[in-house]
Homo-oligomer: A and B are copies of this chain.
Amino acid sequence: MKIVNKMIPSWLQHYQAKHLSHDVLAGVIFTILVIPQSLAYALLAGLPPHFGLYVSIFPVLAYIIFGSSMVQAVGPVAITAIMTYSILSPMATPGSSEYIMLSASLALFSGLILLLFGWFRLGFLSQLLSRPVMSGFISGSAVLIIISQLKSLLGISYQGQGIGALFNTLTQQFSDNNYMTMVMGLTTFLILILSRTYLASLLTSFGLSHNRATFIARLVPLVIVFFATVLVVNFKLDVTANVTVVGHITEGLPGFEFFLPGYDSIKTLAMPALLMALIGMVQGISIAESLAIKRRERIKPNAELVGLGTSNIVAAFYGGMPVGGGVSRSAVNVASGAQTPLAGIVSAFIMMAIVAGASHWLARLPLTVLAANIMVAAISMVDFKSFKHAWSYDKADGLALLGTAGGVILLGLESGIVLGVTLSLATLLYRASIPHIAVIGRIAGTEHFRNIARHHVETIPNVLLIRIDESLFFGNLNAVEARLSNEISKVKEMTDLVLVMNAVNRVDTTAMEVLNELNCDLLEQECKLHLAEIKGPVYDKLKYSPLLQSLSGEVFFTTNKAFETLADAKGYSQA
């Protein structure tokens, strides 16, 4: 019985009948709504569009079995798609069988890495990507996505990625055999943008409920895709007006395709797969968490990783496209009324039916309409607000965000994120290397000590109390020494120096030796060094060190104790 309990997820054991109709309906609506974006992201990844439908079947089921979120929708997503394209397009021609093989390997490797991260509880590694870096990465990627889709939208073709290639093309390649593509694409783009921005509020002002209005606004892409396809079929625009369409799609459900990746592909794809897994991990977990908070549920980060990992491994053998947890996919799922993962199960089976029987309907869907869909989604990913907030709170974090975004756009996705992580680590070190150091005194009548520059405090002649607001390590000792000698030189005939260590969380070997030298130097000048408020863990280490063994002064439990002892010794009458 216990084993059965473990095998059956708790949401299923405690399934409430009232949710059933919601979940089934949500599954149907969700599936129809995500068809355009699934096709579009496969296209963005450089794969045949219907691959986006394939990976919306079994990978979804795999995530439902192993993941922990109630409503996160896994499938083809924008960031994973642009990363796939960015990693693989220099290695093979997008859409070629070699490219498809590489894409499947990439999904397999990043899935395995996610699975290992989950098993070995390495989820904490994702914190190497700070929020500003992650935000910069997403905004930068969005810009790359927008640029990459312009050629499909406008029906032009150019080589390479990035702004340079686009500009060259735009100035050379306008011709009139693509005007219909352009009209279609730009019209779709405008309708999508306007409906996203105004439609919901317009409908609300007509008296619809907020939820219903939002839901109708979400239907717009599907309506456009349908309408555009009808146009193409009716007027044979793909033949007469050069409008590129999805094209022939193999009918029916493909089987699982097992393969063993070669050593070469492991070597070339290991690092990109790791990066993809890291990004997928951060995105997947953060989406699942924010959805769970809204629903007052809890997710298990390591189960999430196992879920995402298994999902990608299944995707490698069935569809061959890396998948992830998507913001807009999950939002559609919630908006459709999903209550439990049952909605996802229903959706997977409906998708299976569509792929098996109806995929030929998609053959004449114009690419430009999909491109417009991707671009509108990408525009909403560019996050100026995060930059504004980070910049106003902390310039260095703002710069890290900007550096990551700029790096992604100008140098590529991998270099961009490496640049961002480097920037944030460098900031960290730089900050720690210029510690805040305050000369402190006692607030009269209390036991509180504060910066003499910020507060009105009492001090003892010939005695210097200094608080160091930073862990002491090899990288900040020069600054600490310089500041200490500066403060020491200001005090006439100093007899006692008290270092207040309540904000010193660690003292490394170099720092211990430097403090020990300070102790000896001061002793030669007939000045004692005292330490106050050493933290427990720091004291445990210092106890047997040369510094405490040969300390000329005392170790005080509190700063106040130090103050009173030294004031008494000097016969200094306290206020």
Contact = CB atoms under 8 A, between A and B. Distances in A.
A393 interface: yes
B447 A535 contact: no
B541 A506 contact: no
A503 B393 CA distance: 20
Given A428-B473, A436-B537, A447-B447, A131 B389 contact: no
Contact of A558 (B448, B471, B509): B448
Interface in A499-518: 502-506, 508-510, 512-513, 517
Contacts of A451: 536
A150 to B, nearest CB: 32
B428 A123 contact: no
B545 A509 contact: no
Contact of A502 (B397, B479, B502, B524): B502
A429 interface: yes
Nearest to A485: B298
Interface of A is mostly: helix
A435 B503 CA distance: 13
A541 B128 CA distance: 23
Contacts of A123: 478
A474 B127 contact: yes
A505 B469 contact: yes
Interface string A466-481: 0001110111111100
Contacts of A133: 474
A505 B502 CA distance: 11
B436 A397 contact: no
Interface string A410-436: 000000000000001100110111011
A358 interface: no
A526 to B, nearest CB: 13
A475 B126 CA distance: 9
A130 interface: yes
Q: Say how many copies of this protein the assembly contains.
A: 2
B293 A541 contact: no
* From A124, A131, A469, A509, residue with most partner B Cβ within 10 Å: A509
Contact of A474 (B131, B436, B524): B131
B130 A474 contact: yes
Contact of A436 (B390, B447, B505, B544): B505
Interface in A544-559: 544-546, 557-558
A131 B536 contact: no
B393 A535 contact: no
Interface in A440-474: 447-448, 451, 454, 469-471, 473-474
Contacts of A513: 131
A432 B128 CA distance: 12
Contacts of A506: 431
Contact of A509 (B132, B432, B475, B510): B132
B512 A424 contact: no
A296 interface: yes
A72 to B, nearest CB: 18
A132 B429 CA distance: 18
A510 B124 contact: no
Interface string A330-357: 0000000000000000000000000000
A521 interface: yes
A394 interface: yes
Contacts of A479: 124
Contact of A132 (B129, B510, B536, B546): B510
Contacts of A392: 544
5 contacts: A124-B433, A124-B479, A392-B544, A394-B508, A448-B557
